[in-house]
């Protein structure tokens, strides 16, 4: 199988590459060459900035792929360029989207809550002023409405792992260790999460499936922020200091106003079994807490 990955040199993208290599896939990664990767001769590399559509087209030449994974598409402009560039070059396109396409709320979020097939596309000259959430919504809308190839948009929540470059879980553990207050507007709010290993596993599985359209991907179950902090307290041996307001540097990256979690029935009905969050989150917190002592 020939696979192209845009965004495969860090976090779950890097883990996806390794899983595909282990499956004997012929993997090509698009990279700016800024961050080194550990794959050696096991992958081909196209060193180019994907936001430069002309340079990417020139670097690709006439290459085609069975599956394309796009982990770094953040704007409808990039999505529209991809629909043109990869027309006739792939049998399946998988773009990483986000739970951010959904509003906050107390109900499990199904794929139908946001419909990219009917989302109105604005004029291209307004694309540069979009928020992250609006950008992801329009990325999905462009692919679903304009792509000439089958496309799947994977809606992923907060991704956690020891290699998380955003260090969102690390933030909470370090604050408890240092006995520094964390601002958290709704400690009782419940959230969806996924481990970076499972995100990579799901993406690999999806490349072999017939699923198209939007699809949610997160661990089974959900966890309240106060529950997460209790687990951290147990491993750190100190009490967390939770406050309503603090300076920006001490505001929780998970500081949502109300609960925010997804329903994964579509993926599970198609045959993928997600792990339960309680089967990996405590272990991860313990691992991170130990390395920070």
Query: What pLDDT sits at residue 45?
Result: 94
CATH number at residue 178: 3.90.25
- pLDDT higher than 80, residue 34: no
Query: What pLDDT sits at residue 140?
Result: 98
CATH number at residue 89: 3.40.50.720
- Split into its structural domains, the chain has a count of 2
Quote the Cα angle for 197-25-152, to 5°: 60
Q: What is the mean pLDDT of the chain?
A: 95
Query: What pLDDT sits at residue 162?
Result: 94
Rg of the chain over all Cα atoms, to the nearest angstrom: 20
**Would residue 266 count as lying in a domain?**
no
Quote the Cα angle for 203-131-144, to 5°: 45
Q: Tell me: the pLDDT tens digits for 198-207?
A: 999 999 999 9
- Rounded to 5 degrees, what are φ and ψ at 17? -55, -45
**CA distance to 3, 76, 84, 129, 242, per residue, from 142 (Å):** 22, 6, 11, 17, 41
Residues 148 and 12 in one domain: yes
Query: What pLDDT sits at residue 10?
Result: 87
- Tokens 């696979």 sit on residue: 3
Residues 117 and 255 in one domain: no
Query: What pLDDT sits at residue 129?
Result: 72
Domain span holding position 226: 162-191+222-260+277-291
Residues 96 and 181 in one domain: no
- pLDDT higher than 80, residue 293: no
Helices (H), 161-240: 168-177, 196-207, 225-236
**Would residue 59 count as lying in a domain?**
yes
Closest by CA to 4, choosing from 54, 87, 63, is: 63
Residues 180 and 242 in one domain: yes
**Would residue 84 count as lying in a domain?**
yes
**Would residue 78 count as lying in a domain?**
yes
**Would residue 175 count as lying in a domain?**
yes
Residues 132 and 171 in one domain: no
Q: Tell me: the pLDDT tens digits for 153-194?
A: 999 999 999 999 999 999 999 999 999 999 999 999 999 999
Residues 199 and 183 in one domain: no
- pLDDT higher than 80, residue 80: yes
Residues 92 and 152 in one domain: yes
**Would residue 268 count as lying in a domain?**
no
Q: Which residues pair with 68 in a beta bridge?
A: 4, 93
- Rounded to 5 degrees, what are φ and ψ at 272? -95, 130
**Would residue 272 count as lying in a domain?**
no
Distance, in Å, from the CA atom of 23 to the CA atom of 283, rounded to the nearest integer, reads: 28
**Would residue 94 count as lying in a domain?**
yes
Mean of pLDDT values over 245-257: 94
Mean of pLDDT values over 76-102: 97
Residues 245 and 136 in one domain: no
Half-sphere exposure of 176 (CA within 13 A, CB side): 26
Q: Which residues pair with 183 in a beta bridge?
A: 243, 251
Query: What pLDDT sits at residue 52?
Result: 93
Q: Tell me: the pLDDT tens digits for 122-153?
A: 777 666 678 999 999 999 999 999 999 999 99
Residues 95 and 166 in one domain: no
Residues 37 and 169 in one domain: no
Q: Which residues pair with 211 in a beta bridge?
A: none
Residues 30 and 103 in one domain: yes
Residues 94 and 169 in one domain: no
| Separation of CA 160 from chain center | 10
Distance, in Å, from the CA atom of 117 to the CA atom of 75, rounded to the nearest integer, reads: 17
**Which percentage of the chain shows pLDDT scores above 70?**
97
């Amino acid at each position: 199988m020939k696979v192209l990955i845009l965004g495969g040199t860090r976090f779950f993208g890097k883990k996806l590459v390794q899983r595909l290599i282990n499956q004997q896939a012929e993997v090509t990664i698009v990279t700016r060459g800024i961050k080194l990767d550990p794959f050696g001769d096991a992958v081909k590399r196209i060193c180019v900035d994907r936001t430069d559509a002309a340079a990417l087209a020139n670097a690709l030449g006439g290459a085609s792929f069975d599956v394309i994974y796009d982990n770094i598409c953040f704007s409808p402009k990039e999505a529209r360029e991809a629909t043109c560039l990869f027309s006739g070059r792939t049998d399946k396109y998988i773009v990483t989207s986000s739970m951010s396409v959904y509003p906050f709320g107390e109900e499990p979020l199904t794929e139908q809550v946001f419909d990219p097939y009917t989302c109105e596309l604005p004029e291209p000259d307004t694309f540069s002023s979009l928020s992250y959430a609006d950008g992801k919504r329009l990325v999905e809308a462009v692919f679903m409405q304009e792509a000439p190839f089958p496309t799947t948009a994977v809606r992923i929540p907060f991704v956690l792992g020891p290699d998380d470059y955003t260090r969102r879980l690390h933030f909470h553990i370090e604050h408890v260790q240092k006995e520094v207050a964390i601002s958290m507007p709704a400690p009782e709010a419940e959230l969806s999460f996924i481990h970076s290993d499972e995100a990579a596993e799901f993406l690999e599985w999806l490349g072999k499936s017939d699923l198209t359209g939007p699809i949610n991907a997160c661990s089974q179950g959900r966890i309240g922020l106060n529950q997460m902090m209790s687990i951290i307290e147990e491993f750190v041996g100190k009490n967390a200091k939770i406050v309503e307001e603090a300076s920006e540097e001490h505001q929780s990256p998970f500081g949502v106003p109300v609960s925010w979690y997804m329903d994964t029935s579509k993926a599970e009905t198609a045959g993928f079994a997600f792990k339960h969050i309680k089967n990996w989150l405590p272990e991860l917190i313990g691992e991170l807490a130990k390395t920070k002592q």
